[in-house]
Structure 1
């Protein structure tokens, strides 16, 4: 049986597909399988996928006669997976050399680690490809991912780098159809509720930025991502709050930080002249934390002041 299963969902990304799949096949961990799922693309994605499968027996293809949408396609890939470890990699992204080997080495040696992730480098594809230096060190940090995501009120896992245990993926289930824009965030919270998470210091993947990024249709500067984050937290805590030590406290922490960060984002947008979107975001923050009606809490002001005084650059609040 292969050590790693990689699912590559593809919809009209035929021009990127070959580079993506080759970045997987060229990994030093060669004991792997790749499944390309073409979701009824109108470009040459299917023919590119079959060409790749013909050239390498580790690659197989499923072609949908009709479009399933990304959530159902992702979940089909999860159902297919049977190896020790699993990665869902968009057809427009690329793995960095050694990414799979680093993940496998850590999870083989640490049975409590259920998910690994690292840095993802953004690349605007109208520019030259980024040059990646060899990364021989396998340094990583053990995380309580649920708590850390609640502390910042946001997702901290770069999806193209997220390699997990397949058995845990099966246990937590598939992506939620109700979360088309924040399903990844909610998925990583579910993983974090099942065990420890390893964060690599290394760059693990390259996230390609281009005009047809799927996220471009809903991701904007108006702050709508805050409502998507809340939806992810809502879904997660509805299922897991009673299973977690201090579940209620974690939920309160997540919503407090989400409200505070949305509040400051709203103020910033209104100062730059985006009054309507700023007011919408301000209403969101006050609905989540009515105390913000009277202004930001002292703790929030102190955290922001500490960031400036001590020169913190990670933009994360102090605990």
Structure 2
């Protein structure tokens, strides 16, 4: 016997979960997503969310309220008489009346190992912080921000040099599998929950907030240590993208750095992680140490692996260097 599932999500990250719920045979009376956004050079085009595109492809009814302040929106949601709502990266606050409307409440797919990284940017902040692993969790939603009890967990390692975009894709697929499993257990009456306080006591993971990325954070601070620099670069890739300036033809140009690795994590460059006359500890932070875009930091060094000039596409660093060499001793990050 299938469940009646209202789905709520917006970005590409959410799409596999919606598709998997439908493929598992559950009935989806409505899909909620954020309204189409203005796009195009003049903002005259309206672009539907990836979830709306997928829902329409599947022949599902789509609803896109601006918010749930209007009681009529709550009434319309309640009238669906859903068994459960599944929320994956929806992006709107849900009032308590809506959380209470489905028979079994609302399940959320969250991209972190709670209670670590509650909030808007858990995937990006996990990479930025240098976490060795993260995961997907299915939790029951409550009034607090990502504070609800957890039912299912799937963990995955974070490799050195892995970007937020790559990790998001993997977690998106994991979310789909985990949510289908959760719905099967819910239907069978075997879905059990563990309070986040108990998880923290068992794992040692303390609650921490994954704040939304601010534009002011995106400029690379070369005075930070190498692990922190690489973490921010990879955590902010592909969007919004960490950046620095590089001199090309005598002019300073803004360049996004979209992948980097601390030289401690480069098997082919062990010498760059220690002290030497030409090593990172003898150079001003932001100075290139070789002609391969290895850059000194406040402590240690990073190798830049993928970059994007303002007028170009994302390329491997060596491709950039073939056309525009950046010799050792070049200072990055200048005005």
TM-score (norm 1): 0.30
Greater strand fraction, Structure 1 or Structure 2: 2
Considering fraction of residues, name the structure with more helix: 1
Q: Indicate the structure whose relative CO is greater, using CA pairs within 8 Å and at least 6 residues apart.
A: 1
Q: TM-score, normalised by structure 2?
A: 0.29
- Between structure 1 and structure 2, the one with the greater Rg is 2
